[in-house]
Structure formats: C-alpha cells, structure tokens
Amino acid sequence: MSSELETPAFQLAVAQFDQAAQAMGLDPNLHERLKLPQRSLMVSVPVRMDDGHVEVFTGYRVHHDSSRGPCKGGIRYHPDVCLGEVAALAMWMTWKCALAGLPYGGAKGGVKVSPARLSRGELQRLTRRYAAEIFPLIGPDRDVPAPDVGTDQQVMAWIMDTYSQQVGYAAPGVVTGKPLSVGGTVGREDATGRGVVDVTLEAMRHLGLNPSSATVAVQGFGNVGSHTARIMVESGLTVVAISDVTGGLYNSKGLAMKELWDHYKRDRRPLKDFRGGDWVTNEELLHLPCTVLVPAALSEQITERNAAGLQCRLLVEGANGPTTLEADRILADKHVFVIPDILANSGGVIVSYFEWVQDTQRFFWKPKDIQERLHDIITSAFHQTLAFAEQRHISMRMAALMNGINKVAQAHMDRGLYP
Ligand code: NAD
C-alpha cells in the first residue's frame, strides 16, 4: 500500500473489505484489485486571496471502481482531507452504490482547506480552479461529484458552471446537489436525512420498538444531522441531543426543533446560546441515554475507547466510517443494532441518482415521486440486508458489504480483465 494511503480511514475501509471478502470467498485477483483505487488524481489549487497574495491548496479526486457505471461521490472541504481519507470514502461509495442497485461506481474528492476561513470570493475561486484541475476526470458519463462535508449547492453550481464553460454548453448532469435553477432536484437537500429516518423506522419495526416513546441523539448538525433531527421529530420521535463541532445540547424531554432551526440555521447564532438544553461535549453526547444514536459528523468517532459507554439500542450511521472495527465488536457484544453507513446514509446518493436521471432526460419529477422512490429503494436495501444478515448469522455491516461487493465482483467477472 502506498504510504500516502496509510491513514486510519483507509485502513478501516480496507479492513472491513478484507473481512467481507474473506467471508464471501472473493476471487483473490479481484480482492487485490479492489483494495486500491482505480485511479487517483492529486492537484495543486492556486487561489488569489482577497489581500492579493496567492495561496496554494491541495486537492484530490479518486475513482475507486467504475465497473458498474460512471463514478459517483462527494467533494469535501476540510483541513484533514488527505489522499487516504478520500480513497476510503471512494471505496465506501462503490459498495454503497452497488448495495442500492444504482448504476454507478465509487468516487470521492476533496480539498485540504478550512472553508469557514475563506470569503465567498475566495471560496468561488478555489472551487472553480479545483474543478478545472479535476476536469479530465469528471463528466456526466464519467464521474459525477456531489456535496459532502464543507460543500453545498452553491459550490456544486460553481463546478457545474466551470465544467459547462469548458465544454461550451450547459452540462447540468456533471454534478448533483445543485440548486433547482440549474437542474437540481426537489428533495436532494434533505435526502440523506430522510433515508436515515426511513431505515431507522424499519429497524424499529423489526425490533418491536415504538417510535412515539423513542429518543434520538444526533452528533453533527450539518446537512445530514439537521435534516435527520428535523424529520425524526416530524415522524414522532423525540430528539434529545444534537451537536456541532463546538459541542452539543441535551434536553431529556426533547429539544424544541423549530426554535433550534430558527436560532441556528436562519439566524446563524451559536448553538451554545440556545436556551432549552444543557451543554454537553461531543464525547458526552455519545454516552447519553437514548434509543437511537446517529453519528452524522466525521469518521472514527466511536472507537474502542468509548464504545462500551454507548447507551443506545440502535446506532444509525449518518456519517461515513464513524465506527472502528474494535468498536463494532464491543457494540455486537452489547447487542446494539447497527445500521451501517453504506446503507443508512445512502439516501443522498439515491436522490443524486434521481437528479442525474432527470438532468439526462430533461424531464423533472414531483416531490412525491422522489420521496416514494427513495423510500422504495432504501427500505428494500434494508430488508435485503437484514434477511441476508439473519440467514448467515452475520452483522448488518458484513451483510451490506458482502451484498455490495458481490454486485461489483459480478460486474468484473462479466466484463473480464482488459486487455
Ligand atoms: P456538513 O459539513 O454539512 O456537517 C458536518 C457537521 O459535523 C457540522 O455540524 C459540523 O459542525 C460537525 N462537526 C465537524 N467536526 C466535528 C467534530 N469533530 N465533532 C463533532 N461534530 C463535528 O457535512 P454533511 O454533509 O452533513 O456530512 C456529515 C457526514 O455525513 C460526513 O461523514 C459525510 O461524508 C456523510 N454523508 C453526507 C451526505 C450528504 O448528502 N451530505 C451523504 C452521505 C453521507
């Protein structure tokens, strides 16, 4: 393994893959090939800052596997972005798309930058230059980026415009998670959170838990966490805790979600200033008593250090890679029902797929079509995974990985090895 890939996230992704590949008896040649990305691009992104000096940022775009279709995966702007993390996220995207039956391979990209430190102009120049640098890899039939940590629909609109300027015509299908005005879809903004809630409710039905007496703690209040919390409340559950990078709020009787949204999202005021909950650290949040815990921030949050202290019955992974292998073992001993990331947070890429289909057909759907089709795909992936896990006496994570890997392996076998 190249030393740039040697990061905790990549080691976690490979260790999960190794376990699943071994359990399913994956062809050793395929095993070797799928351990590594298909291609990785590292780029320098020079940006003229507002004070006139030029700062050079490092960016990446990684394709893990394109055997089943164009690559698909988000773009992350975060100071910890590195090749290993991007490669891990790309690998998880491959299994996620296959598990949901989407005709995509896995990709991911990112820039090592703290976006909150940039002005709007700097952010736009960084995005356009990054998009120009990864231009050889992206395109509606090649690789279709989407938002991830630190990026949003405005960033996607700038990428769409930069790509369109290069090819000479409007190419909405080059990214998903765009604004509606340039070919975005209704329902993409909250799709990941909606999918998290869909699978949570299915799991509760399976476990005989009543949503109206269930409590939820959510780590992270960005795109995934905030919509998850809002839709949980709309579905009759009580959200007792949420957090952002600064810390979290806890109220055992439930947080007032509408007031919290107005305070944090509309008025952009610090979480800590919200009256209606006690202040907790992100670490304390993980140990709160609750029925459902949703990590929806970064990877490797639940580790062998803190897993024993979790009090939830269900762990629903909104984030990618939030649980380490050691923590998985501890949670299994505690009989915590884990809905793994590649299943739990697949609502985002499922609705991204709907957006790409609509862009390709130039024919747009109604909100009801989006929600129903998302529900169909994600709940049937959940039930297939559950049935396989029960039949083989394996965890939901192993079952989801094996299902996804199996579909990718089949595509490789059918296509054959080039040349
Ligand atoms: P975001 O940037 O919108 O939000 C991230 C949230 O995490 C913010 O509230 C931030 O304050 C918080 N955070 C950052 N560092 C933290 C830390 N050290 N401890 C606690 N909280 C911290 O990002 P997002 O799009 O919501 O993505 C969150 C996770 O979900 C990521 O793992 C991402 O890969 C995954 N995901 C996102 C999507 C999507 O559609 N956006 C889809 C699937 C998976």
The four Cα atoms 270, 272, 273, 278 give a dihedral, to 10 degrees, of 150
* Residue 4 confidence (pLDDT): 85
Nearest to 107 by CA among 121, 120, 95, 119: 95
Structure confidence at residue 166 (pLDDT): 97
368 is catalytic: no
Q: Determine which residue's CA is closest to atom 31 belonging to ligand 1.
A: 319
Grouping H, G, I as helix, E, B as strand and the rest as coil, residue 75 is strand
CA distance 75 to 153: 11
Residue of 35, 72, 96, 108 marked catalytic: 108
Q: Is 346 in the pocket of ligand 1 (CB under 6 A)?
A: no
Helix or strand or coil: residue 289?
coil
> Distance of CA 399 to CAs 15, 16, 29, 295, 380, Å?
15, 11, 22, 20, 14
Residues 245, 80: Cα–Cα separation, whole Å: 14
pLDDT for position 416? 97
Rounded to whole angstroms, how far apart are CA atoms 57 and 71? 24
- 243 Cβ closer than 6 Å to some ligand 1 atom: yes
**Consecutive 10-residue averages of pLDDT for the chain (419 residues):** 87 98 97 98 98 98 98 98 98 98 98 98 98 98 98 98 98 98 97 98 98 98 97 98 98 98 96 96 98 97 98 98 97 98 98 98 97 98 98 98 98 97
Ligand 1 atom closest to Cα of 150?
A: 2
Q: Closest ligand 1 atom to the C-alpha of 341?
A: 44
Residue 110 per-residue DSSP state: E
Q: Which atom of ligand 1 is nearest to the CA of 346?
A: 43
**Which of 89, 102, 223, when mutated, tests ligand 1's pocket best, judged by the most ligand atoms within 8 Å of its CB?**
223
Ligand 1 touching residue 222 (CB < 6 A)? yes
